[in-house]
Structure 1
Amino acid sequence: MSWVLLAAPLRAAELPDFTELVEQASPAIVNISSVRNADAKSSASRPQEQLPEIFKRFFGDRGFGGQEFDQQPRRAYPESLGSGFIISDDGYVLTNNHVVKNADSILVRLSDRRELEAKLVGADPRSDLALLKIDADDLPTVPLGDSDRLKVGEWVLAIGSPFGFDHSVTAGIVSATGRSLANENYVPFIQTDVAINPGNSGGPLFNLDGEVVGINSQIYTRSGGFMGLSFAIPISMAMEVVEQLKSKGHVARGWLGVIIQEVNRDLAESFGLDRPMGALVAKVLPDSPAEAAKLQAGDVIISLDGRSIERSAELPQLVGRVVPGKTVDIGVVRDGSNKTLALTVGELPDERSLAMGADGERASGGDNPLKIQVGALEPERAEEWKIDGGVVVRSLHSGPGAEAGLVVGDVITMLNGQPITDLNSFAEVSGDLPENKPVPMRIIRRGSPLFLPLKIKPVE
């Protein structure tokens, strides 16, 4: 027993002390609230939606005598809350795009309790980053580190505003680096076990040297709260985005124009590889840089510009960081032999153009709220099943579509009461689905119609 009492202080002494780091970094951490201005009609209806259930039960949604509650509409209301941090003393603030998305105005609350309206310099939905500017000088800033040097097992610390509790501090370790998530093709996430909750989004992730190494962006959760799986955007990649947002207000990414898939053990053997590695080219899109470089379906891309490709998910991340117009060497395995091709990287098209190939196939898997890959309905199947239109489920990632019970081969013909006739209508309707509310999804499975309940969870 005495040995245990003596050993406890010794073990405690080996744990890191975060107090100095927090004292130095906290002044540069901000709280962000985005505000949407509402018209009279929508503002008047909003209080009705929040009536206590007992009032609705006895009087309906229109109050006593049929009169609407709250005849004085509010002109604005908070749309979302998140965190951010100051990266330059003249007022540049970095946060997540989803924190300020669709905002009419953005308020930044500093550590000294000043509230300043921020200007949106630029946003990049693909990396979920947004750059803000506030009108102030001599502001405290945070030092920026090198996320490429992070090691698994290293201590990290987060400061943010979970559930509105400003400057909350949590700590943990790096669980993994270079993580790929469904619908996030261009970010090699840092995975940690730091406690991150709604409101932490956009806040910094520090190493023990007090340097920012990441921007807390997402959590994996079944409950809506922290479950031990948190993901941050590497600061090294984020600053590349910042420079482009500063200079031109948007981000230009590299693009090859291929549809790829993972290489498993059997595929590796069939393509003459010693082990599973690389990205298998399933399709080369027409009029693309890949077509111009003579890439072929069946090629296995094993390197890009001197960097090896171990998993297929690494390829979009590497290509996305290449400046469009740069010529790079691509190493491929073709017919069992290694080849090197010179390819001039193009600029990644917009979401709608990227979603379509020459024959209507979707060019990027899971790039929608359902986290599924879809393709055009074949005329033969439409005639056999006697349906006028729809989209075919090609593959599923972990997400709402899989949770709803979709399987490969299902044909989606209706979402939330709206008909799905082709890839364009699917992109429009799926992009406007409500969050945290079940909506009906009609499918055709093996020729028979079936409704499934679909629920989109908010990204946090």
Structure 2
Amino acid sequence: MPETRTQRRALASVAAAALVTTGAIGGAYLPAATPAYAQALPKTPIEAPEHPPGSFANIVDKVKPGVVSVKVKLDDTASADDDDGPGQSGRNMQNVPPQLREFFRRFGQNGAPGGPQQRGGSRGAVGSGFIISADGYVVTNNHVVDHSKTVQVTLDDGRTLDAKVIGKDSKTDIALLKIKEAGSYPYVQFGKGAPRVGDWVVAIGNPFGLGGTVTAGIVSARGRDIGAGPYDDFLQIDAPINKGNSGGPTFNVNGEVVGVNTAIASPSGGSVGLAFAIPAETVQAVVEQLRTDGKVARGYLGVQVQPVTQDIAEGLGLAKPKGALVDHAEDGTPAAKAGLKSGDVIEKVNGEPINDAKELSRKIAGLKPGSKVELAYLRGSKSDTATVTLGSLPTDGKVASRGSGEESNGQPRLGLSLAPASEVGLADQGVAVVEVDPDGPAAAKGIEQGDLILDVGGQSVSKPSEVAAQIRSAESAGRRAVLMRVKNGKGVTRFVAVQLNKAG
């Protein structure tokens, strides 16, 4: 069929477009005149990044002899629930977002092929580890060897040797073992710096009992808090790891350990490209204490703190939601002796900025008892500093950190009916919440009947009128939220920032 004029024009347009596209890619058909937008581009092109290794074989050959499989016989105190998923025991997942809670699975427990171990009597667990010294010290996860009756490690050359547990730390999920048989063992070293997001990493371990398995990926993120413990600061990697990889090392391209594989996010218990490793710097600090003392002693400040949310920042008149807000300084603690008070916002520790309550907790816990630290804090609108001599973190689990929780405040326009606490017999001071509007701003923040409002905007209150006055003061200052300290029926105090409801 002969081409029409319209068809010829269309074909010509397509051909011209193809030439332009080819020219843009191949450079053979670029027009002589440079487009205006191109003239604004830098004259020096951006240098291409280094190419990823063509092979990880040399790295693997170097470090693989230092990686071991860890096999454990559990004592009768280990819960039968340990069989339900990979190594969940000993880690609190209540703070994990609901949509992820069921997907977080630990691995290492019962990781051998064949499914869960038999219930009753002695049961087994399988994980990974790595040797860090020629005399046979081995790092693994606490949840791999917790409740262990006996521990054995299988070396890369096939030998299976008995090991003993030198020390464990449940808060970071790190354990240190020692091979009982004297000898000179191949070992690996920790990295000297933290990896960057995008760096290549290699994981070696014992997934599903298949020792010596190598996988590779990149560092996907840093500083992940998955709600597994008080000092969460995980590396997120996408190197495939599975049940049995727990306690195994993650290496950088120099063959240095940058993390200890500890958790995965998965709907099935298998790898979906979300894995979490404890950073090497954390591991080294814990291992040093376990080797010398058999336990970990952590610094203790003696405060309950919570994050500075956007609402709270507005209530305090802060430009940004940063720092750790002091709920309460326990009597007789280092914080109280240094003069810290409820309502202070800790902004720096030894000159290093504090972004949130979790970071404060990690920094303080990372220091030894007896250490002197300088805290920079904000009280009202005034900045100040305090020198604190840290105590030792009590063994009952009290830590210098609290979760954000849900919170609220009080005043009639916020959906609350109030009365002096002394008049309703709840306490000698404060303002009692006697009724809560379920649709009001206070209820949305978790305020309940029977709660006590202790102060508003940094001022103690004992009458509903004083609460109202402080709220009016916050409104006059142009704040969109008011900050209150509230005590619930269990005696727990917390700060609550509630959006001001102009409608009354």
TM range, smaller chain: 0.5 to 0.7
User: Larger deviation: 163-172 or 181-190?
Assistant: 181-190
Q: Distance in 1 between matches of 2:378 and 2:292?
A: 39
Distance 1:372 1:102, change over 3 A: farther
Deviation for aligned residue 1:38: 6.0
Partner of 1:91: 136
Partner of 1:144: 190
Query: Equivalent of 1:271, from 305, 316, 319?
Result: 316
Partner of 2:51: 14
SS in 1 for 2:219: strand
Equivalent AA in structure 2 for residue 293 of structure 1: A
Could you report, residue by residue, the CA deviation over 1:112-138 in whole angstroms, capped at 9, with x for unpaired residues? 111111011111111111100012311
Q: Distance in 1 between matches of 2:191 and 2:283?
A: 11
Equivalent AA in structure 1 for residue 262 of structure 2: S
Deviation for aligned residue 1:329: 0.5
Does 1:25 find its partner at 2:72?
A: no
Q: Distance in 2 between matches of 1:218 and 1:409?
A: 35
Equivalent AA in structure 2 for residue 202 of structure 1: G
Does 1:291 find its partner at 2:336?
A: yes
Deviation for aligned residue 1:143: 2.1
What RMSD in Å do the two structures reach over aligned CA positions?
Answer: 3.3
Partner of 1:243: 288
Distance 1:408 1:34, change over 3 A: farther
Could you report, residue by residue, the CA deviation over 1:235-292 in whole angstroms, capped at 9, with x for unpaired residues? 1121111111111110000111212111122322332322111111122222221111
Q: Is contact 1:94–1:202 with CA below 8 Å preserved after alignment?
A: yes
Does 1:216 find its partner at 2:228?
A: no
Could you report, residue by residue, the CA deviation over 1:285-342 in whole angstroms, capped at 9, with x for unpaired residues? 2222111111111111111111111122111111111111111100111102211111
Does 1:107 find its partner at 2:152?
A: yes
Distance 1:103 1:155, change over 3 A: same
Does 1:337 find its partner at 2:382?
A: yes
Deviation for aligned residue 1:78: 4.2
Q: Is contact 1:37–1:75 with CA below 8 Å preserved after alignment?
A: no
Q: Distance in 2 between matches of 1:87 and 1:409?
A: 51
Q: Is contact 1:38–1:74 with CA below 8 Å preserved after alignment?
A: no
Matched residues, number: 330
Q: Is contact 1:331–1:341 with CA below 8 Å preserved after alignment?
A: yes
Q: Is contact 2:361–2:401 with CA below 8 Å preserved after alignment?
A: no
Distance 1:89 1:76, change over 3 A: farther
Distance 1:364 1:321, change over 3 A: closer
Query: Equivalent of 1:168, from 198, 202, 213?
Result: 213
Q: Distance in 2 between matches of 1:372 and 1:312?
A: 12
Q: Distance in 2 between matches of 1:78 and 1:161?
A: 18
Partner of 2:351: 306
Does 1:207 find its partner at 2:252?
A: yes
Q: Is contact 2:67–2:156 with CA below 8 Å preserved after alignment?
A: yes
Does 1:180 find its partner at 2:225?
A: yes
Q: Is contact 1:35–1:106 with CA below 8 Å preserved after alignment?
A: yes
Q: Distance in 2 between matches of 1:91 and 1:143?
A: 13
Distance 1:252 1:38, change over 3 A: closer
Q: Which runs of 5+ in 2 are unaligned?
A: 1-21, 27-47, 84-117, 407-420, 422-444, 449-504
SS in 2 for 1:239: helix
After TM superposition, list the pairs within 5 Å mapping 1:191-206 onto structure 2. 191-206=236-251
User: Larger deviation: 76-85 or 337-346?
Assistant: 76-85
Q: Distance in 2 between matches of 1:15 and 1:129?
A: 31
Q: Distance in 1 between matches of 2:119 and 2:337?
A: 56
SS in 2 for 1:236: helix
Partner of 2:126: 81
Distance 1:178 1:38, change over 3 A: closer
Q: Is contact 2:166–2:178 with CA below 8 Å preserved after alignment?
A: yes
Equivalent AA in structure 1 for residue 191 of structure 2: G
The TM-score normalised by the length of structure 1 is 0.66
Q: Distance in 2 between matches of 1:175 and 1:112?
A: 32
Q: Distance in 2 between matches of 1:221 and 1:14?
A: 31
Equivalent AA in structure 2 for residue 119 of structure 1: K
Query: Equivalent of 1:281, from 326, 329, 341?
Result: 326
Partner of 1:61: none
Deviation for aligned residue 1:183: 4.0
Q: Is contact 1:279–1:309 with CA below 8 Å preserved after alignment?
A: yes
